[in-house]
Amino acid sequence: MPVPHHLSVISYPRLQQLRRLGRAVAAVVGAVVTGVLALATAAEGVVVAAGILVIATMGLAAYARHWIRLAGRSRVGASSERQVRDALELLRIDGWRVRHSLRWHGGGDIDHVAIAPREIGLVFAIETKTKTHRSEHVAHAAATARWLASRRRRWCPRGALAVLCVVRARGIEHVEEDVLVVSIDRLPSALRTAAGTQTRPAFLAATPPRAQRVRPRAPSDPK
């Protein structure tokens, strides 16, 4: 039985978490080994060598703590992406298609891609943030939308829209530099509105973002 796409894909933060935990485990093992060697060397009376091994043990322990902290951050990011995945599932009943962790040339992945019904011809590139966002995150979201518009034209003949979803915020929906910034509680509704399948409530009069489109090449001038 095939596994649904939204369940089969491991997100980039989850993979990053596993890699970082692997490095932490390797550092812990190294610290244990050097610690045992330090004790054995000290018992033999080789003080200088034992001191060097103790320093190595402390360094490896610090290295392990570093990777454990980073793995914790990745875990938070993976949890936020999981929540956005769940929110996007509500769109499937309306004929939307959803993809996750789509690789692109800019490094890492596009967190989520929501593809509106075929007759609408729009796609949404969604960047996930847990609490806050900065201008570079907005720029990154816009770049992923431009990439989708140029490389996935069958999905979005009318263009691609950039979205930045803030998971732990509530009641947010506005546009920054043609990027729709929205909290997770408004995400499905905001996407339906931007796609034109749902009327925007009067109290949300924000200017909708512009879709990123691929401009046709101009014909060369005759010589």
Q: For residue 134, give the H/E element and its range.
A: none
Q: What is the pLDDT of residue 40?
A: 93
Q: What is the pLDDT of residues 191-203, one digit of tens each?
A: 999 998 776 554 4
pLDDT band at 206 (very low <50, low <70, confident <90, very high): low
How many percent of the chain have pLDDT more than 90?
A: 69
Q: What is the pLDDT of residue 11?
A: 83
For residues 79 and 142, give the distance between their C-alpha atoms in angstroms, rounded to a whole number. 23
Q: Which residues of 183-193 are buried (b: 16+ CB within 10 A; e: fewer)?
A: bbebbbbbbbb
pTM: 0.76
pLDDT at 13 over 80: yes
